[in-house]
Amino acid sequence: MKKFNLSIYILLAFLIPSLSFGQIEGEVLKPYTGKFLLKGGTLVTVTKGNLPDTDLLVQDGKILEIGADIDAYDAEVIDCTGKFVYPGMIDSGTRLGLVEVGSLAETQDYAEIGNVTPNMQALTAINPNSVAIPVTRVSGVTTVLSVPSGGLFPGTAALINLNGYTPDQMYAGFKGIPLNFPSSARRGRWDRRSDEEVAKDAKEALKNINDLWDKAIQYAKLDAEGAELDYYPEMEQLAKATTGEFTLLVEVNKAEDIVNTIKWLKDKNITNAALTGVAEGYRVADKIAAANLPVITGPVLAIPSRDSDRYDAAYSNAGKLHQAGVLVAIRTSDAENVRNLPFNAGFAAAYGLGKEEALKAVTINPAKIFGLEDQLGSLETGKSATLFITDGDPFETKTQINHVFIDGYRIPMTSRHIRLYQEFLERSPGLVE
């Protein structure tokens, strides 16, 4: 037992100095808020360049001050000498919190029954105590869009901070309505429909959407005129997409479907919209740019959609979209491995997007798409103190994440993955022959 304890101390002292919180037996580590002075780090502000040897003061959940030699007063000082401070990374398309164990139906809360269920709220089904949340946030991913799936209008997505004990505490200020645009592509190699069936299904789905949209416009109009309407929660929610109150998040991937989507959005005069997925965006990047539609794309680490495609089609997609002038955000589309967001950004960077733009694609760009650029996505005075501290480039696998703050809360740098490491690195008893 003694040996076991000693090994834990050695571990904490040498192997993972990033764990500024020791996991002491029986002690529970909780996030806590207060006044924090991050002293002497290089601030990677994203919007205002890199500020070497600069202090950052956190108070009341906000970045109160940025500058040289800020007086600590009563703040808890965190020495950031030789470290880097980044705004929290935002994953703009995930299932995090909506599923606990992928294959178990009992834990799948992302797809409701029905083709048209825009009133299904991701925010009410998000499990604030999902084991994947601490696993994710210690990587510097602090904020994610949790998106329902399935059907034409699967529900309402919500942006959440990865800290809080109730969904309302986690809510980060953006909701959007996903629309799965009728696809002329196959859903996978197991999709054995004939070409004609695929086309027919897509045509029918589009007609369905058009009818629904007309109804929703009608609903919004009658509602605005003060008409007494029957209880129709699906339409009530969809109406808010027609008026632009909620952003329409149009999931579309195949090139010709993207073109059709652009045309559809124009026909319907929808301006508050973003394209998501956009796997073949690079084929029609100019058209997306001309339509002034922002794009949430990913995963970057994906197989090309066609066998004839160049091997790096998915890696280079974000870069090509950016070069065409499209505002690009990157998503993982993952649940338990949203922590791979920085690596998706790293691959996009290496294959044409560049490091600076890749960083924007997981910080300020999604903040802009979600209309939260005054609160998130960069290190600026007055913005939310949602940030993390590293010993290097956060996209590099070698880099360690030392501290994470979410809305001014200092996050314990532990998770079940780290606790298992601490317990089993040197198991006791070891081998008994």
Question: 6 or 77, CB closer to other proteins?
Answer: 6
Output 221 or 310, the one with its CB closest to other proteins: 310
Buried b (16+ CB within 10 A) or exposed e, 305-335: beeeeeeebbbbbbbbbbbbebbbbbbbbbb
Among 117, 143, 247, 253, interactor with other proteins by CB under 8 A: 253
Verify binding: residue 6, other proteins, rule CB under 8 A.
Answer: no
Q: Which residues contact 37 (CB under 8 A, 6 or more apart)?
A: 55, 56, 57, 58, 70, 72, 75, 76, 77, 78
Q: Could you say which of 102, 233, 325, 382 contacts other proteins (CB under 8 A)?
A: 102
Minimum separation from the CB atom of position 16 to other proteins (A):
7
Site string for other proteins, 11-30 (x = CB under 8 A): ----xx--------------
By CB under 8 A, tell whether 131 contacts other proteins.
yes
* Residue selected from 122, 132, 293, 389 as contacting other proteins according to rule CB under 8 A: 132
Distance CA 408, CA 417 (A): 24
Q: Is 350 in the site for other proteins (CB under 8 A)?
A: yes
Q: Does 186 bind other proteins (CB under 8 A)?
A: yes
Collapse the DSSP code of 181 into the 3-class scheme (helix H, G, I; strand E, B; otherwise coil) and give the result: coil
Contact with other proteins (CB under 8 A) among 304, 323, 324, 368: 304
Residue 202 backbone phi and psi in degrees, to 5:
-65, -40
Nearer to other proteins, 370 or 395 (CB): 395
100 binds other proteins (CB under 8 A): yes
**Which is closer to other proteins, CB of 12 or CB of 335?**
335
Q: Does 310 bind other proteins (CB under 8 A)?
A: yes
**Distance in Å, CB of 425 to other proteins, minimum:** 5
* Binding status of residue 397 toward other proteins by CB under 8 A: yes
Considering only 25, 189, 196, 231, the residue that binds other proteins (CB under 8 A) is: 189
Tell me how far apart the 2 most distant CA atoms of the chain are, in Å. 81
Q: Compute the distance between CA of residue 284 and CA of residue 175 in angstroms, rounded to an integer.
A: 27
Residue closer to other proteins, measured from CB, 6 or 425: 425
CB of 219 to other proteins, least distance (A): 31
Instruction: Provide the β-strand partners of residue 63.
Output: 58
User: Which is closer to other proteins, CB of 39 or CB of 339?
Assistant: 339
Q: Angle, nearest 10°, between helix axes 313-323 and 341-348?
A: 70
Residue 305 binding other proteins, by CB under 8 A? yes
- Does 3 bind other proteins (CB under 8 A)? Our answer is no
- How far apart are the C-alpha atoms of 281 and 275, rounded to whole Å? 10
DSSP 397: T
Contacting residue, 29, 70, 302, 324, with other proteins by CB under 8 A: 302
Alpha carbons within 13 A on the beta-carbon side of 390 = 23
Closer residue to other proteins in complex, CB, 226/429: 429
C-beta of residue 184 within 8 angstroms of C-beta of residue 254: yes
Closest residue by Cα to residue 36 from 3, 5, 63: 63
Q: How far is the CB of 417 from other proteins (least distance, A)?
A: 4
The 3-state secondary structure of 247-283 reads: EEEEEECCHHHHHHHHHHHHHCCCCCEEEEECCCHHH
Quote the CA–CA distance of 277 and 250 in Å, as a whole number: 8
C-alpha–C-alpha distance, residues 425 and 346, integer Å: 29
End-to-end C-alpha distance for the chain, whole angstroms: 19
Footprint of other proteins on residues 256-295 (CB under 8 A)?
A: 277, 279-280
Q: Is 103 in the site for other proteins (CB under 8 A)?
A: yes
Residue from 185, 226, 292, 380 touching other proteins (CB under 8 A): that is: 185
Q: What is the rounded CA–CA span in Å between residue 82 and residue 110? A: 42
- What's the min distance (Å) between Cβ of 276 and other proteins? 12
Of 134, 281, 346, 366, the residue at the interface with other proteins (CB under 8 A) is 346
H or E, element range at 358: helix 355-361
Chosen residue from 55, 336, 357, 407 binding other proteins by CB under 8 A: 336
Q: Considering only 28-36, 143-151, 332-340, 380-388, which stretch makes contact with other proteins by CB under 8 A?
A: 332-340
Query: Which distant-in-sequence residues (6+ apart) come within 8 Å of 39 by Cβ?
Result: 55, 70, 72, 77, 78, 79, 80, 81
d(CA 218, CA 1): 71
Minimum CB separation from other proteins for residue 223, in Å?
Answer: 36
Task: List residues near other proteins by CB under 8 A.
Answer: 15-16, 100-104, 131-132, 183-191, 195, 253-254, 277, 279-280, 301-312, 335-337, 339-340, 342-343, 346-347, 349-351, 355, 395-400, 416-418, 420-421, 424-427, 430-431, 433
